[in-house]
Amino acid sequence: MRDDAPSLRRAAPRVDYRPRDGDLCGRTLACFRFDTQPSPDDARVLHVPLPLLGDALDEVWQVDGDVVHGHDGALRWSRGGGWLFAAIEVHEAAHGGPEEAAEHAYGCLSRFVADAEERHVQRIWNYLGAINRGDGDDERYKHFCTGRIRGMGEVFAQGFPAATAIGHHGDSGLLQVYLLATDRPGTRVENPRQVSAWRYPRQYGRTPPSFARATRLPDDDVLAISGTAAVVGHASAHAGDLDAQLDETARNLDALVEAGELPAGFGHNAPLKAYVRDPAHANAVRTFVTRRWPDTPVLAVHGDICRAELLVEIDGWRYR
Ligand code: 3EB
């Protein structure tokens, strides 16, 4: 049954990692397959070009309600239980470069979300090819940041969502962006150990990155955590040192849970995803996470962090 009463409590999507069995149910909002196959017609199934470093698991989002889904031009979408998933894939060749591709992708998503009931974007993911290619202001990630803010329309004007931006090793001209939105605003959470990304000084590029460190989802004790790395203040810490970066990243994750006013720590109720620059580090990353926070589901994927000196980044969810 559908109920549009704005006072209705919307249970947040549950995210978990499952063996690939191929079958989605009527309450599946989205399913992510980490490999480089083309995405099938079912709009909810998105192939993400970040190879898994470990068991063949899918990331599945389930909602408390019946899901409908479809396509709208280049966009794929699904909605149910008060939540909206939308995704777009853009090829740079059709737009001129990484900046124009990002502007186009964000423009399409902004317009789509602005017309939806679920117009409050809580969380967004960005995967672009060759993210660290180019020097100084010409690095492709920095061009992406400029295009992203240009394409962000009114729906992002109240504040930036939590986000992840990672480099993939698939077709270097492919930009993939997907989001989770609902019908009420969440609460943005910043990390007291870090300068807010939109206030980064000029040395990191002409356009500071537009994201919040986390979002506390409306009406639920759920924290959606942005890509988190060994950044302290605005500086990268422990360049080239995996163990020290993991330790610093864990401190940042703990600080976000505290700032988000949830009980300390991670565990079975906190699925995490680790983006690992060097596939040889995957075991060390998984071991670190499960020693520090036993029973935490952790998926490791091969991806590049947007600062060349960083080796690992972790994002995820914290349910109460
Ligand atoms: C950082 O803390 C690391 O540009 O959307 C993390 C999460 C990072 C999101 C983004 C970038 C983004 O600055 C990089």
* Ligand 1 atom with the shortest distance to the CA of 211: 5
Choosing from 160, 204, 226 the residue with most ligand 1 atoms within 8 A of its CB, the one to mutate for a pocket test is: 226
| pLDDT, position 200 | 98
- Is 209 touching ligand 1 by the criterion CB < 6 Å? yes
pLDDT at position 8? 63
Residues 317, 297 contacting (CB under 8 angstroms) = no
Atom of ligand 1 at shortest range from CA of 164: 9
Q: Band the pLDDT of 9: cuts 50, 70, 90.
A: low
Q: From the centroid of its chain, how far is CA 58?
A: 15
Q: Is the minimum distance from the CB of 13 to ligand 1 under 6 angstroms? A: no
Q: How far apart are CA 253 and CA 231, in angstroms?
A: 11
The residue from 89, 103, 139, 313 that is catalytic is: 313
* Segment 91-141, tens digit of pLDDT: 999 999 999 999 999 999 999 999 999 999 999 999 999 999 999 999 999
- Residue 282 C-alpha to ligand 1 middle, in angstroms? 20
Closest CA to 222 of 263, 251, 255, 252: 263
1 occurs within a structural domain? no
* 51 within domain boundaries: yes
* Residue 7, in any domain of the structure: no
Q: Is the CB of 164 under 6 A from ligand 1?
A: yes
What is the tens place of the pLDDT at every residue in 163-174?
A: 999 999 999 999
State pLDDT tens for residues 227-264: 999 999 999 999 999 999 999 999 999 999 999 999 99
Length of the chain: 320
Question: Do the domain assignments include residue 22?
Answer: yes
Q: How many domains does the chain have?
A: 1
- For residue 126, which atom of ligand 1 is closest to its CA? 5
Q: What is the mean pLDDT of residues 263-276?
A: 98
* Domain annotation covers residue 164: yes
**Nearest CA owner, ligand 1 atom 3:** 229
* CA atoms of 276 and 303, how far apart (whole Å): 5
Ligand 1 site, residue 303, Cβ cutoff 6 A: no
* d(C-alpha 317, C-alpha 266), whole Å: 9
Q: Which tokens sit at 238?
A: 């422990």
DSSP-assigned letter for residue 51: -
- Report the pLDDT averaged over residues 55-71: 97
Name residue, tokens 């853009």: 90
Q: What is the distance between the alpha carbons of residues 166 and 152, in angstroms, rounded to a whole number?
A: 19
pLDDT at 316: 98
Farthest CA pair distance, the chain = 54
Q: Which atom of ligand 1 is nearest to the CA of 310?
A: 3
* 2 inside domain: no
User: Which mutation among 126, 143, 164 tests ligand 1's pocket best, with the greatest number of atoms within 8 A of CB?
Assistant: 164
* Mean pLDDT score, 150-176: 94
User: What pLDDT band is residue 1 in, cutting at 50, 70 and 90?
Assistant: very low
> Using N-to-C axis directions, what is the helix angle for 282-292 and 242-259, rounded to 10°?
40
Q: Is 314 in the pocket of ligand 1 (CB under 6 A)?
A: no
Please report the pLDDT score of residue 220 as a whole number. 82
Cα–Cα nearest to 148, from 98, 114, 201, 92: 98
Instruction: Please report, in angstroms and rounded to a whole number, the separation of the first and last CA atoms in the chain.
Output: 27
Question: Given this model, what pLDDT does residue 2 score?
Answer: 44
Please determine, for residue 4, whether its predicted confidence score (pLDDT) is greater than 70.
no
Q: Which atom of ligand 1 lies at the shortest distance from residue 305's CA?
A: 14
Beta bridge partners of 235: 232
Ligand 1 pocket residue status of 226, Cβ below 6 Å: yes
Q: Average pLDDT in the 34-51 region?
A: 95
| Tokens found for residue 181 | 């939105």
Give the position of tokens 């990630």. 141
Question: Has residue 182 been placed in a domain?
Answer: yes
CATH at 276: 3.30.1330.40
pLDDT at position 153:
86
Q: Which domain holds residue 252?
A: 14-319
Give how far Cα 106 sits from Cα of 71, 126, 148, 179, Å. Answer: 16, 10, 6, 11
pLDDT class for 3, splitting at 50, 70, 90? very low
Dump pLDDT digits (tens) for 129-144: 999 999 999 999 999 9
With the most atoms of ligand 1 within 8 angstroms of its CB, the residue from 106, 166, 313 to mutate is 313
User: Regarding beta strands 222-228 and 312-319, do their DSSP bridges make them parallel or antiparallel, or are they unpaired?
Assistant: antiparallel
Does a structural domain hold residue 86?
yes
The predicted pLDDT at position 133 comes to 98
Question: What pLDDT was estimated at residue 296?
Answer: 98
pLDDT of residue 219: 78
Question: Is residue 163 in contact with ligand 1, taking CB distance under 6 Å?
Answer: yes
Q: Name the closest-CA residue to atom 10, ligand 1.
A: 165
The span from the CA of 135 to the CA of 148, in Å, is 19
- Determine whether 261 is an active site residue: no
